[in-house]
């Protein structure tokens, strides 16, 4: 079993309030969960208007499958014009068993 997490740091340009930021963040998280079957949460910068740290996690039988899922999630986030991606970091865990 392979587990991977993707951390995406975002700048939300047109966000003038936490409420408008939450709408963008909620859309990204809900769509990623539904479309790619990943776990997703806002994990950083919850109290800042124009910044967000989003975490996505995927589990699979092999690394290639998990990597393909996270690649699709990353492309999905990059495709949104209302956000600027500041950084993307992946963390891997392989479990024997």
Q: Return the half-sphere exposure (C-beta side, CA atoms, 13 A cut-off) of residue 22.
A: 5
Would the pLDDT of 97 be above 70? no
Predicted pLDDT of residue 44:
87
**Tens-place pLDDT, residues 24-80:** 999 999 999 999 999 999 998 777 778 999 999 999 988 999 999 999 999 999 999
CATH architecture of 2-94: 2-Layer Sandwich (3.30)
- Segments making up each domain of the chain, as ranges: 2-94
Separation CA 65–CA 85 (nearest Å): 24
- Enter the DSSP assignment of 69: H
| Mean pLDDT score, 15-25 | 85
> Given this model, what pLDDT does residue 15 score?
78
Residue 96 gets which letter from DSSP? -
CA distances from 88 to 12, 26, 53, 96, 97 (A): 15, 19, 10, 27, 29
Map tokens 């975490």 to a residue.
55
């Amino acid at each position: 079993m392979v587990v991977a997490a993707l951390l995406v740091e975002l700048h939300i340009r047109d966000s003038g309030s936490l409420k408008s930021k939450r709408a963008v963040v909620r859309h990204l998280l809900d769509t990623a969960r539904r479309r790619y079957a990943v776990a997703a949460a806002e994990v950083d910068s919850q109290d800042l208007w124009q910044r967000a740290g989003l975490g996505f996690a995927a589990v699979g039988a092999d690394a290639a499958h998990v990597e393909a899922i996270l690649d699709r999630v990353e492309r999905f986030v990059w495709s949104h014009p209302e956000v600027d991606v500041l950084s993307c970091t992946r963390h891997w865990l392989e479990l024997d068993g």
